[in-house]
Amino acid sequence: MTKPQTFLALNWKMNKTPSESVQWAEELLDKLGDLNIKLAIMAPSVSLAGLSGVLGDAQVGLGAQDISQHESGAYTGEVSAAMLKDLGVQYAVIGHSERREYHFESDAVVAAKAVQAIKNGIVPIVCVGEKLPEREKGEHVSYTLNQLRGSLAGVELKSADDLVIAYEPVWAIGTGKTATAQDAEELCAAIRGVLKELYPQFADQIVVQYGGSVKPDNISEICSQPNVNGALVGGASLQVAGVVGMVEALK
């Protein structure tokens, strides 16, 4: 199987003001050489317009960190997929564990958001992954695959490029505890198995990322696993040097 192109997605979470974002992106573009991978910034919604202006048609893509499950209407505070698309947004993180935990997003809500994204030409990066108790009970595979099936209910694809999955074990997020490359491969391979059932014609080419304390030192080993096609990175994505380090490590 030919692996899909490696995709490094930078999830800034709730960091950087709009003006800091623009300055950061200008510095990154200045320091980045030619890319042999896909690279995109997942920014807070208030920073997307400014970033869109800076990134333009450059080789760095633009993503949001969430999307409304609704098309439009009386949903105060929500941002629709169509609004994001209009700004030039190409990707959206959907169902991140922080949204599942702090905003009580269920698998059904995650699936509805993924449907909205695809309908509007935005690629959802659908996040799944177990917490520590499931890992300790040895239930991490079944838990994550159940979550995946629920989060993809009713999600239809026209091509492999319509969807990205991120496997993020919650115990490894922001803790400095990285899953081993073998842990990442175990789950990413299992995820691909479910993708083969759901989307047999596209599964081999759907990008499956790993996320959780990824940094320049460990990204290469993790992404060299057969079923790992990139990373969703939080902490190490906040400094330009960290991003340049990860891009270099993947060369």
Ligand X SMILES: O=C[C@H](O)COP(=O)(O)O
Which one of 30-38, 51-59, 152-160, 208-216 is the stretch in contact with ligand X (CB under 6 A)?
Answer: 208-216
Does residue 140 carry a catalytic annotation? no
**Site membership for ligand X, residue 235 (CB under 6 A):** yes
**Site membership for ligand X, residue 218 (CB under 6 A):** no
- Cβ of residue 61: shortest distance to ligand X, in angstroms? 16
CA 4/CA 16 separation, integer angstroms: 31
**Site membership for ligand X, residue 95 (CB under 6 A):** no
The binder of ligand X chosen from 163, 232, 240, 250 (CB under 6 A): 232
Which one of 104-112, 131-139, 187-195, 210-218 is the stretch in contact with ligand X (CB under 6 A)?
Answer: 210-218
Report the residue number, 43 or 199, with the smaller CB distance to ligand X. 43
On whether 137 is known to bind a ligand per the annotation, the reply is: no
SS (H, E, C) the chain: CCCCCCEEEEECCCCCCHHHHHHHHHHHHHHCCCCCCEEEEEECHHHHHHHHHHHCCCCEEEEECCCCCCCCCCCCCCCCHHHHHHCCCCEEEECCHHHHHHCCCCHHHHHHHHHHHHHCCCEEEEEECCCHHHHHCCCHHHHHHHHHHHHCCCCCCCCHHHCEEEECCHHHCCCCCCCCHHHHHHHHHHHHHHHHHHCCCCHHHCEEEECCCCCCCCHHHHHCCCCCCEEEECHHHCCHHHHHHHHHHCC
**Site membership for ligand X, residue 173 (CB under 6 A):** yes
Q: Is the dihedral of CA 62, 89, 153, 202 positive or negative?
A: negative
**Site membership for ligand X, residue 168 (CB under 6 A):** yes
The binder of ligand X chosen from 16, 211, 223, 227 (CB under 6 A): 211
Does residue 96 carry a catalytic annotation? yes
Site map 7..26 versus ligand X, x via CB under 6 A: ----x---------------
- Cβ of residue 168: shortest distance to ligand X, in angstroms? 5
Give the residue numbers of the binding site for substrate.
11-13, 174, 213, 234-235
**Chain positions contacting ligand X, by CB under 6 A:** 11, 96, 168, 173-174, 211-214, 232-236
Q: Catalytic site residues?
A: 96, 168
